[in-house]
Chain A
Amino acid sequence: MSGREFRRPAPGPARGPGRTVLARLRTAGFKALAWVRSLPTLLLLSAAALASGAALYPLAAVLNRLLAARLTLGPFLSVLPEEALKFGLALAALAAARRFKDPSLCLLAVAGATAFGALENLAYALSFPDSAVYLRLGWALPLHANAGALFALALSSRRPVAAGLGAFVLSAAIHAAFNALASAYPSAPVLAGGLLFNFIACAGLAAAAYTRFAWGGVLHGSSRL
């Protein structure tokens, strides 16, 4: 230490009642932020994806009502607002995957779509309190999850634009077909067929997604992104 006197900064207010409320709130905020940053990135991103998907549900409801009031949309066009919102979620997941250099983060689109479908199921369960709501677990929910998975695989492929567009059209077509079937009071075999199709598609897409993102680097030598 030099001969110069080291001037220590004046001590701040002592702990306890002397501290202002604002200072305490600031300290608490910094602590909360530090805790959040210490959490695993995947956990934070998953929570953000779930929250985004859940927030899309009321937005989709408002959009559908607005469009239905002004336009007469056919069964195919009426599904476009929902599919567009889910595609937007998939694009956000792709951005996160590029940002954190982890291609498997594209699957966060499925988390968002699942939250969307879960909130839709909850709304049905509260509006129609009978056991028919459980049918939606195999009829409507896999539609949303499969759409998210399809978008994730398409956007992480070698030709993301073409694949993404094709995935959008395919997802909208399947959604419209299921809506048309549901409004026509399908028989039990048709219902069973729809459920089977959904679960098989879900299993196939899950296998494809796991193979692509967990083994893609091994099988193909490099990341797709």
Chain B
Amino acid sequence: MIGPGASSYLRRLAASATRRALMRRLAVWFAAVLLASSLLSAAGFLSLLSETGYRALLVLLLSTFPLALFFPPGDRAGIRELRALDRAATLESALAAPEGGASEPLLRARGESLARELGTAKSPRLVVSQGERALFATAATAFIALQALLILTTGGPALGYVAPAVRAGREEEGELAFARRNASEETAFEDFPGDEAAESDPAMPGIAERRGSEADFEKLHGLTRAEETGGGSERGDDYAPPGQTGSPGSLGAAEAPQGDGARRSVRPAEDPSRGGEADGGGSESGDKAPSEETREDGRSPGSGWSASPGASAGDAMKDYRAAFEKVYSERTRGAVAAGSELSRTDLETALDRYFESFSLRIGMQPAEDPFAAGLRAAWARLREGLR
């Protein structure tokens, strides 16, 4: 039996121990949930988990908080805590002493004095176990790492589900190209004729993706035009089915020469392997020097500008030009293609044809009424017959 003082002290001790235990459990639960939710967010960010799956798992995770609060403590938890404070087991002995026994008054008195002594002492310091420390550190590290990753990739922290990073368009491709300062230009365009090296370059975007993005580029900038239209940079039969040669495309506002609506190629038609200059002639007048040097040197522009002496450095315009050149060659079915050789004469011829006036190419006929022309012809025959 214990006295009222010891009984009051034990009740206060039980209340504080309960508070500490529940707070510890909630802290451990919170750390575990933080770690798990960080992993779930990372899985969502890496496209391993859909938003629905994330929400379902998070709801399940958060639904476990009653387990943390109501986990069975075991009936020895209180005794262990009391023994940590009462090393001599005085209070325990007083509790266990039978009522009316000879030792009861002594144990009761000693229990009361110990309770007064312990009641004035400071509360025991909260001890965090090694496992709990490891859990807290791991949870904090995972959370901070995830937020750092989100800041670096998306520009800001986020809680909850983060959609997978959307692949950027040509801008990002251009940036990637800029960054590849040491990459050879032969590998820059894996689908360029005869350029197998680029196909094995893991740093390059996929072939289909690049073709799709370049097709979009053409749409946006009106790189090709209809064969029937006389000018302007509008799309026409550029995506004609196989067998038809496309009309020469135009770059920007430059007009390609046309003749009676007939399909023409800008470059000299005799040599399908040549050309490629005219397609770049209009808008690239300001950037002629590198290409001319390249062609004059007799180096292959078939692989874009990679063979040019100044082409090794990352140059945005190179990619732009080379991509246009490649697509242009495809659309014209090789009629305008970057050949292995292009002489100055061919270049001049192509430029002349490209810049020829519209009237010279079209062959303007005087407007005449076909009925009147028929009558005239009939009268001429009649006159001849009368002679």
Which residues of A line the B interface, CB within 8 A?
42, 46, 102-108, 110-111, 113-114, 117-118, 121-122, 125-126, 129, 133-134, 136-137, 141-142, 145, 148-149, 202-203, 205-207, 209-211, 213-219, 221, 223
User: Which residue in A113, A149, A203, A218 is a CB contact (below 8 Å) of B14?
Assistant: A218
Given contacts A107-B71, A214-B73, A218-B82, contact A125 B18 (CB under 8 A): no
Residues of chain A within 8 A (CB-CB) of B67 are: 110-111, 114
Given contacts A42-B72, A126-B52, A206-B22, contact A211 B15 (CB under 8 A): yes
Residues of chain B within 8 A (CB-CB) of A207 are: 15, 18-19, 22
Proximity string of chain B (3-31) to chain A, C-beta cutoff 8 Å, 1 when within and 0 when not: 00000001100110111011000000000
Residues of chain B within 8 A (CB-CB) of A145 are: 66, 69-70
Which residues of B line the A interface, CB within 8 A?
10-11, 14-15, 17-19, 21-22, 51-52, 55-56, 59-60, 62-67, 69-75, 77-79, 82, 95
Nearest Cβ on chain B to A17's Cβ, whole angstroms: 40
Report the Cα distance A148→B64, complex, angstroms.
Answer: 14
Report the nearest A residue to B19, measured CB to CB. A207
Nearest Cβ on chain B to A142's Cβ, whole angstroms: 7
A107 and B59 contact, CB distance less than 8 A = no
Q: List 30 A-B contacts (CB under 8 A).
A: A42-B74, A46-B71, A102-B74, A104-B74, A105-B72, A111-B67, A117-B63, A121-B59, A122-B59, A125-B59, A126-B52, A129-B55, A134-B59, A141-B63, A148-B66, A149-B70, A203-B69, A207-B19, A209-B70, A211-B14, A211-B18, A213-B73, A213-B75, A214-B14, A214-B18, A215-B14, A215-B17, A218-B95, A219-B14, A219-B78
Report the nearest B residue to A103, measured CB to CB. B75
B21 and A110 contact, CB distance less than 8 A = no
Report the Cα distance A214→B17, complex, angstroms.
Answer: 10
B60 and A121 contact, CB distance less than 8 A = yes
Task: Apart from A211-B18, A216-B75, list 16 A-B contacts with CB within 8 A.
Answer: A102-B74, A104-B73, A107-B71, A114-B66, A117-B66, A137-B63, A203-B69, A206-B22, A206-B69, A207-B18, A210-B21, A210-B22, A211-B15, A215-B10, A217-B75, A218-B14
Q: Is the interface of B mostly helix, strand, loop or mixed?
A: helix
B69 and A125 contact, CB distance less than 8 A = no
B78 and A215 contact, CB distance less than 8 A = yes
Report the Cα distance A98→B71, complex, angstroms.
Answer: 17
Report the Cα distance A95→B15, complex, angstroms.
Answer: 28
Residues of chain A within 8 A (CB-CB) of B64 are: 114, 118
Report the Cα distance A126→B167, complex, angstroms.
Answer: 29
Report the Cα distance A114→B59, complex, angstroms.
Answer: 12
A148 and B70 contact, CB distance less than 8 A = yes
B75 and A214 contact, CB distance less than 8 A = yes
Residues of chain A within 8 A (CB-CB) of B11 are: 219
B78 and A217 contact, CB distance less than 8 A = yes
A104 and B66 contact, CB distance less than 8 A = no
Nearest Cβ on chain B to A144's Cβ, whole angstroms: 8
A122 and B75 contact, CB distance less than 8 A = no
Q: 5 closest pairs, A vs B, by CB?
A: A145-B66, A118-B63, A215-B78, A214-B77, A104-B72
Residues of chain B within 8 A (CB-CB) of A134 are: 59, 62
Given contacts A145-B70, A223-B75, contact A125 B55 (CB under 8 A): yes
Nearest Cβ on chain B to A130's Cβ, whole angstroms: 9
B14 and A206 contact, CB distance less than 8 A = no
Residues of chain B within 8 A (CB-CB) of A141 are: 63, 66
Report the Cα distance A115→B10, complex, angstroms.
Answer: 35
Report the Cα distance A108→B15, complex, angstroms.
Answer: 22
Residues of chain A within 8 A (CB-CB) of B78 are: 214-219
Residues of chain A within 8 A (CB-CB) of B10 are: 215, 218-219
Report the nearest A residue to B55, measured CB to CB. A125
Report the Cα distance A223→B19, complex, angstroms.
Answer: 22
User: Which residue in B19, B62, B75, B95 is a CB contact (below 8 Å) of A221?
Assistant: B95
User: Which residue in B21, B69, B74 is a CB contact (below 8 Å) of A202?
Assistant: B69
B79 and A217 contact, CB distance less than 8 A = yes
User: Which residue in B17, B22, B52, B95 is a CB contact (below 8 Å) of A129?
Assistant: B52
Residues of chain B within 8 A (CB-CB) of A114 are: 63-64, 66-67, 70
